[in-house]
Amino acid sequence: MTANTSANVDVIIDTGDREIPECPHGPALLFVRYERGSSSSKFFACSAFRDRKECSFFQWESEKLSEEKKKIRQDINSKQQLKFSHQEAYDRFSKFKEQSISSRELCQTCGMFLLPGELEGHKGHRIKSPITEEMLEKPTQLFLPLDNNKTFAQYLFSAPAVDFTLKTLEDLSFTHIICVGAPRIFEAIELKKDSNVKGLLLDLDHRYQLYPASKFCRYNMFNHHFFDGQKSDDVFGQFISEEGGKRVAMVMDPPFGGMVEALAATYNKISQQWKTLSDKPQDTDLPILWFFPYFMEKRIKESLPKTFMLDYKVDYDNHMLFRGDMKKQGSPVRIFTNLSPESVILPASEGYWYCKVCSRYSAKENLHCDVCDSCPSKDGKTYKHCFKCDRCVKPSKQHCDTCKMCQRQDHRCGQSLSNGCHICGALDHKRRNCPKQGSSSTKRGAPEHNSSNRQKRKRKK
């Protein structure tokens, strides 16, 4: 199975019986880069980071490594692992809490809780002190967000978004929440001492090792990789197994530049494990709330056809574009779920209303269209119906009789809005539907995804 990512690079989900190499972040992903002229090149690259400065791993799909090179790679991967294991980090944190509040020091630059005598090694770093008990209960506010879009892309939910999510899950009687890349949701669960809801945080950020292994697993959501191996896998399996009245749901907040198809593959693996451990029918899916921009709806529904996009606009505290007060139409982030849309009650206090015809809650600007028989708006604007196109369109568009479709008023007739197929160059289809895709020749070429000047220099020699 080949899935579209961006530009002219796709990720191949079904790798068959290929031997999958590993980088410090677990099994690599296999990519294919298409070029004009029906040629393509396949290569393995890091699943977690798009920035080669953060992970320089690269290997051609056809490259066969000698045992010596495999040993060198294993040594490199080993050297790039964390300084402290999860247990060691947790033990350090326990000792840290034994200090008086005024003596506690956190290096925010390194994300390390300092023990007596360690401050000297952090000269010039950003040090926070004192550290109160209340601060330790809210580590998402204590740590500096890792907001590089090509690595962690760590943006944190606003308080209303957290409250809405937890209320929804509690109202639907879920008791165990898998928080994938959602530390603020997990943090809120931990803070609700009077609630029966429990959480398990799966995140790539090692700083959350302040939580015990029973509550946090360091995890790569793009390849379903647990860094602590079988130990974490056992914790995870026990958590998602529904027994004794447990009801499990998954909340996933991935980097918005992340590969939808790889994330969907991870969800499918988790859902299958949940079905197996909980003795669920194969046509049942693990309930999920996936937070992602509305303009990725088509890609998500292609990968997970049972999902539905809710109108709820999700705000983030530390992202200028994903805050309702910064954009007229509100945040572009929505929730994709396989729960019944009717069962997810959106807050009337924020203008959401229930559409009896659609059996779902809609945003205040999303007015029902009797012709389309739906509430059509996606982006926070009120759409209008075009009878010539027989569908609702954005208010900024009007029908063009020359183009025979609705276009922006400043458009140029006859100008294609598509770059066409990367394989054959035709404008009437994309590469995933190209009749020449299966017959394209494979060759080595400079990959656009995770490209490196080092690789280019190497080929020129």
| DSSP codes, 127-181 | EE----HHHHT-HHHHSPP---TTTT----B-HHHHHHHHHHHHHTT--EEEEES
What is the distance between the alpha carbons of residues 150 and 51, in angstroms, rounded to a whole number? 6
336 or 440: which leads in pLDDT: 336
Judge whether residue 404 has pLDDT over 70: yes
Q: Is the pLDDT of residue 300 over 70?
A: yes
pLDDT higher than threshold 50 for residue 332: yes
Which of 170-174, 181-185, 247-251, 437-441 is the least confident region? 437-441
- pTM for the whole structure: 0.88
247-255: average pLDDT = 96
**Residue 6 predicted with pLDDT over 60:** no
Tell me the β-bridge partners of 176: 198, 248
Residue 320: pLDDT band by 50, 70, 90 thresholds? low
pLDDT of residue 434: 72
pLDDT at 366: 97
* Mean pLDDT of the chain, nearest integer: 88
- pLDDT recorded at residue 256: 87
**pLDDT value for 2:** 47
pLDDT at position 329 is: 82
Kindly indicate the confidence band of residue 446, based on its pLDDT and cuts at 50, 70 and 90. Answer: very low
Longest CA–CA separation in the chain, Å: 76
Residues 97-138 have pLDDT tens digits of 999 999 999 999 999 999 999 999 999 999 999 999 999 999
d(CA 268, CA 230): 20
Whether the pLDDT of residue 39 is over 80: the answer is: no
Q: Which residue has the tokens 């992202």?
A: 319
Residues 254-259, mean pLDDT to the nearest whole number: 89
Helix (H, G, I), strand (E, B) or coil at 261: helix
What is the arithmetic mean of pLDDT over 401-423? Answer: 80
Provide φ and ψ at 54, rounded to 5°: -85, -35
